[in-house]
Amino acid sequence: MSMDALDQLYREVILDHHRHPRGRHDIDRVDVEASGLNPSCGDEVTLQLQVEGDRITDVAVIGRGCAVSTASGSILAELVKGHTIEDARRIAEIFKRMMHGEDPPAETDLGDLEALTGVRQFPVRIKCALLPWVTLLDAAVARAEGRTGKTITTE
Amino acid sequence: MSRGDVEKQRKAPKPQPSATEDRWPEVSRRFPALQRSVNAHRLVYLDTAATAQKPDGVIAAQQEYYRSFNANVHRGIHTLAEEATAAYEHCRARAAQLVAAPSPSSLVITRNATASLNMVARGLEHTLHEGDEVLLTEMEHHANLVPWIMLAQRTGIVLRHIPITDDGKLDLSKLDELLTARTRIVSLMHVSNVLGTINPVAEVAEAAHARGATVVVDAAQSVGHLPVDMVELGVDALAYSAHKCYGPMGLGFLAAKPELLDLMEPMEGGGEMINEVFLDRATWAEPPLKFEAGTPNVASAAAFPAAVDMLEEIGLEAVRRHEEELAGYALERLSSLPGLVIYGPTDPAERGGLVSFHDPEVHPHDMATLLDQAGVAVRAGHHCAQPLHRRLGVVATTRASLGVYSSKSDVDALYEGIRFARRYFNP
Ligand SMILES: Cc1ncc(COP(=O)(O)O)c(C=O)c1O
């Protein structure tokens, strides 16, 4: 590994999301909430979603972790707002597979998420990138079951 | 090298330790893994508290076991089995000596310090009743918290904790109140794996014994780093891991007073730990074998004495001085970095060879990744001490920990690495 790998991990986009994370605001109404924990470091993130019909109209991300998980949460807030829960779930699944080495389907627009592919060269950091997204998956299940999410982990 | 040569080496006169500092570079050259590079930099290994690197002697001894006398212990009646058993029992004797255990038979060979602590907790379960108390501390490693939590869930015992002061020491001002008529066990760490604090174990043990409690010490971070003497500490049981004091993986110890081992129930049943077995009942062997069910890690046991030899040859007093000096140097250098929060006592005399810190600008995960780019290996996270981190008000810290092979230039590399990380994030 080298400075190159490092610059691939911490691309400008990632550092920007880290420095100015999106979704750091209170939302009017919390319809679904879920928390995720990375047991290996103790980092925790809570997602709050405002949902109208099946569409996510606002996202709040609470809790701060490392640059990778903060940026990933920030991108999540930007990306899933305005999408249906089903779409958000699909993006989360694609991102998970992408982190484990698969290429995303050609037609999907993953926005700044593409910038997180550099994390793949740092296997121990993949969990950091996934934390907000596995939390989102739990939020989707919670919504379907009409409950608040439980704290899930990246393990 | 034949087994005979190993024996000869073991008995060869030890070179006298010199009073100068110059010996440390030679010591560090005995560790082959330290000779490699990482990310095109010299490896600066500052994660000894997680596991120490292994010297050539240990690696050679482990190989030698497999190459020339691999056999199961306490069973076969043939030359290899006898040699393997002798090596295994030699390990017991050396591991007992290292911590001044009452005798080799007071030393149980386990998998690691965690297994040793679980063994005590489970072994004493039958002596505890609902409402009895176990006193721990707020700074414990999960290995000395979770076994007691599990015990509390099963028996209804009450867990109490000695709090810590803001400078990361045990707050003993309330010890008198925390020790009650129902306190049955006090279990605490000798050296904190996060704060570095060297705890006044002897003082706590004396107060605990005055109330009739049994005292257990988790010496995972002290053995191999400073002289550890069960008698001086005044404890009834002591747990440690071989891998943290330059020995091989998969080997740990529980040293305990004979009365305590007699009182403890074995946690696992099986071969080796029995006297007589019938289809419906069995009787246990005497300690320590009572606690050693199944085939143990003989290869690691055969290798561990080489680590003890090295520590004796250098001298644990000298090791301690070396680490204290380096810890002092690390504290000095790191505290010159504005904004960096350093945990634990400020006086190096009160702490072991490790320094944990939190950089408000760079999360520990990012710090560890960036330091690794500079070849500097540190640990980032909660270091298996979540309650302590909650008390410190952070979820994670970055920890640099030292060993016999560490040097001032390692500390300098850490310092430069942190500066690099800060610049990288906030150019
Ligand atoms: C203070 C302390 N206790 C116990 C342990 C557990 O050691 P092991 O994982 O070898 O059982 C550790 C090591 O992480 C430690 O630092």
For B73-86, the pLDDT digits (tens) are 987 889 999 999 99
Interface probe, candidates A12, A41, A155, chain B, greatest B C-beta count within 10 A: A41
CA distance B345 to B65: 43
| Predicted local confidence at residue A148, as pLDDT | 65
Q: Which of A47-61, A94-108, B211-225 has the lowest mean pLDDT?
A: A94-108
Q: What is the pLDDT of residues B178-221, one digit of tens each?
A: 999 999 999 999 999 999 999 999 999 999 999 999 999 999 99
CATH assignment of B44-49+315-425, among 3.90.1150.10, 2.30.29.30, 3.40.50.970, 3.90.800.10: 3.90.1150.10
**Of the candidates A1, A15, A65, which has its C-beta nearest B363's C-beta?**
A65
Topology annotation, domain B79-310: Aspartate Aminotransferase; domain 2 (3.40.640)
Contact between B253 and B116 under an 8 Å Cβ cutoff? The reply is yes
pLDDT confidence band for B6 (50 / 70 / 90): very low
Residue of B48, B110, B112 to mutate, ligand 1, most atoms within 8 A of C-beta: B112
Domain layout of chain A by residue ranges? 3-154
CATH assignment of A3-154, among 3.40.50.2000, 3.20.20.70, 3.90.1010.10, 1.10.1500.10: 3.90.1010.10
B384 included as an active-site residue: yes
* B275 DSSP assignment: E
Contact between B88 and B94 under an 8 Å Cβ cutoff? The reply is no
Residues of chain B numbered 180-219 and touching chain A (CB < 8 Å) = none
The amino acid present at A128, given as its one-letter code, is C
Domain layout of chain B by residue ranges? 44-49+315-425, 79-310
User: Chain A residues contacting B, CB < 8 Å?
Assistant: 1-3, 5-6, 9-10, 15, 40-44, 64-68, 70, 122, 125, 128
Residue B19, CA distances (Å) to A75, B236, B268, B321, B329 in order: 58, 35, 48, 11, 20
Q: What is the pLDDT of residues B28-52, one digit of tens each?
A: 999 999 999 999 999 999 999 999 9
Q: What is the pLDDT of residues B336-364, one digit of tens each?
A: 999 999 999 999 999 999 999 999 989 99
**Mean pLDDT on B223-248:** 98
Interface contact A6-B370, CB threshold 8 A: yes
Q: Given CB atoms, is B295 within the 8 Å cutoff of chain A?
A: no
CA distance B260 to B108: 12
- pTM for this one? 0.92
Contact between A58 and A50 under an 8 Å Cβ cutoff? The reply is yes
pLDDT confidence band for B5 (50 / 70 / 90): very low
CA distance B380 to B401: 12
Nearest Cα to Cα of residue A8 among A127, A130, A119: A119
Residues of chain B positioned with their CB less than 8 A from the CB of A66:
363-366
Catalytic residue among B61, B128, B384, B402: B384
| Predicted local confidence at residue B20, as pLDDT | 53
Q: What is the pLDDT of residues B379-408, one digit of tens each?
A: 999 999 999 999 999 999 999 999 999 999
Q: What percent of chain B has pLDDT over 70?
A: 95
Residues of chain B positioned with their CB less than 8 A from the CB of A41:
364-365, 380-382, 395-396
Interface contact A43-B373, CB threshold 8 A: no
Of the spans A94-103, B20-29, B93-102, which averages the highest pLDDT? Answer: B93-102
Query: Helix H segments across A21-145?
Result: 67-80, 85-99, 126-145
User: φ, ψ for residue B363 (rounded to 5)?
Assistant: -60, 145
